[in-house]
């Protein structure tokens, strides 16, 4: 399993990475982004998007790979494991270029699917990054740990390749989800732009 997936697969990893995170405004070391006068972020001169509010912390996993990998995490009020994370992924699990096939491949590994009992709440076609995409909302429950998670995955195309956006929100089984976090995620996705071709599109 790719290490980068752990940023939203495990609360323990998210907690560890959180200690080293910083908002765009407070990051002091060399960073792969810059802010624009319009309030957007240019990431590695390749991507542009509207960042989430300051209470969301930047989360990045260094994998040694060439793909772009970053996300945002926010501890939420309430009992453990109240946490929300969302990310952009250049290489979501799977290899198919058809959205429906990629969805099946992806959810075999998403959030250690063998542990969680998933239910698809909604699936629909959407417009994303200038083209057609597929949005899938799911809920998973772990009756042993008494935890649940609501997730939304949006598959899009970058050239011929499938890329992904996803958000996960963890709660105790009797906890309440925060729909406002999903609105912030949707704004992030709807603002997302590719500023130049990917490496694979230039081959």
Per CATH, the number for 3-202 is: 3.40.1000.10
Name the residue among 68, 65, 75, 64 with its Cα closest to residue 17: 75
How do residues 65-100 score in pLDDT, each as one tens digit? 444 478 999 999 998 999 999 999 999 999 999 999
Residue 164's DSSP bridge partners are 89, 155
Q: How far is Cα 169 from Cα 151, in angstroms, rounded to an integer?
A: 6
Helices and strands (H and E) in the chain: how many: 4, 11
How do residues 118-137 score in pLDDT, each as one tens digit? 899 999 999 999 999 999 99
Q: Where are the beta strands (DSSP E) in the chain?
A: 33-35, 41-43, 47-49, 57-59, 69-75, 83-89, 117-128, 131-142, 147-158, 161-172, 193-194
Length of the chain: 203
Query: What is the reported pTM?
Result: 0.82
The confidence score (pLDDT) of residue 66 equals 43
């Amino acid at each position: 399993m790719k290490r980068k997936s752990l940023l939203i697969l495990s609360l323990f990893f998210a907690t560890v990475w959180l200690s080293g995170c910083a908002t765009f405004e407070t990051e002091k070391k060399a960073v792969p982004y810059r802010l624009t006068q319009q309030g957007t972020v240019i990431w590695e001169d390749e991507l542009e998007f509207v960042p989430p509010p300051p209470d969301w912390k930047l989360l990045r996993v260094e994998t040694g790979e060439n793909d772009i990998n970053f996300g945002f995490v926010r501890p939420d009020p309430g009992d453990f494991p109240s946490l929300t994370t969302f990310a952009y992924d250049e290489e979501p699990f799977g290899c198919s270029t058809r959205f429906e096939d990629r969805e099946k491949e992806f959810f075999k590994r998403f959030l250690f699917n063998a542990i969680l009992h998933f239910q698809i709440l909604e699936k629909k076609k959407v417009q994303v990054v200038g083209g057609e995409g597929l949005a899938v909302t799911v809920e998973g429950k772990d009756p042993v740990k008494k935890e649940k998670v609501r997730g939304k995955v949006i598959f899009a195309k970058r050239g011929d390749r499938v890329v992904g956006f996803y958000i996960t929100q963890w709660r105790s089984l009797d906890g309440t989800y925060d729909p406002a976090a999903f609105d912030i995620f949707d704004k992030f996705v709807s603002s997302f732009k590719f500023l130049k071709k990917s490496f694979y599109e230039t081959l």
